[in-house]
Amino acid sequence: MSTIAQHGLAANAAILPSAQTLDHTLRDASPAQVIETALKLVGREKLALVSSFGTESAALLKVMAGVDPAIPVVFLDTEWLFEETLAYRDTLIAALGLRDVRSIKPQVEALSRQDPDRELWFSDPDACCRIRKVEPLARALKPFSAWLNGRKRFQGGARAEIPVVEEDGDKLKFNPFANASREEIEAIYKLAKLPSHPLVASGYLSVGCMPCSSRTAPDEDARAGRWRGRPKTECGIHTTKTS
């Protein structure tokens, strides 16, 4: 029996349960159950998974593919990504049978106006993230009522207290791996024989854009290599409302 049926939640996308109700209902649900619930609530046409195709992305994509490989996947191609990340995206699409991956790029006009010399990442990384990630994602998510992402509490920082379901403007935002441990993520990779991101072997435990990603020492947090030396810890897509 589905999680929705078990708890009597409305499956009518026009009358969605509140994020608080869903978070309470799904607090102990498995990642697959969280995705199944989101899919039943809003339907495939209104649900998207946002993936960076980074070092831990394959686990969530694998679980999603087991539920429905045709759920749209939004990938933000910032035009500052490692070639290894672009290759990894293509590898996972083929390996997992993903049927609808949409690569979204920043607007050319915004780049030419605000970052003509491609140096904005150095002088104002928040502005760089805004035009290369935040604004493109808001544009990409406009047709959707809910979205899935791969944040986990064990990643620490602002992510340490994330709920399983939260409000994101007028959308529902599902965090299927909120409760997952690092060991559970590793087990998914091992069981499914998922390929690792090519840069993991070189010491990159978290990979974003090239200028703002660096190798991580064994005793550091996995995300310590992101925006190293700056107070910045998030690109903005999880701290800015998408509606």
In the annotation, is 129 catalytic? no
d(CA 33, CA 179): 13
- The amino acid at residue 228 is R
User: With contact defined as beta carbons under 8 Å apart, do 54 and 92 qualify?
Assistant: no
Mean pLDDT, residues 198-224: 92
**Choice between 236 and 19, residue whose per-residue pLDDT is larger:** 19
Q: Phi and psi dihedrals of 81, rounded to 5?
A: -80, 155
Average pLDDT of span 138-165: 89
Residue with tokens 């993520």: 185
243: confidence class by pLDDT, cuts 50, 70, 90 = low
Tokens of 49: 């998974």
Average pLDDT for 184-193: 96
- Which candidate, 117, 12, 78, places its Cα nearest to that of 4? 12
Q: How confident is the model at residue 14 (pLDDT cuts 50, 70, 90)?
A: low
User: Could you give the domains of the chain?
Assistant: 3-212 (3.40.50.620)
Give the per-residue SS3 of the chain. Answer: CCHHHHHCCCCCCCCCCCHHHHHHHCCCCCHHHHHHHHHHHHCHHHEEEECCCCCCHHHHHHHHHHHCCCCCEEEECCCCECHHHHHHHHHHHHHHCCCCEEEECCCHHHHHHHCCCCCHHHHCHHHHHHHHHHHHHHHHCCCCCEEECCCCHHHCHHHCCCCCEEEECCEEEECCCCCCCHHHHHHHHHHHCCCCCCCHHHCCCCCCEHHHECCCCCCCCCCCCECCCCCCCCCCCCCCCCC
Structure tokens given for 34: 């969280």
At residue 5, the pLDDT reads 44
pLDDT of the residue at 69 = 98
**pTM given for the model:** 0.89
| Of 44, 38, 36, 96, residue with least CA distance to 67 | 36
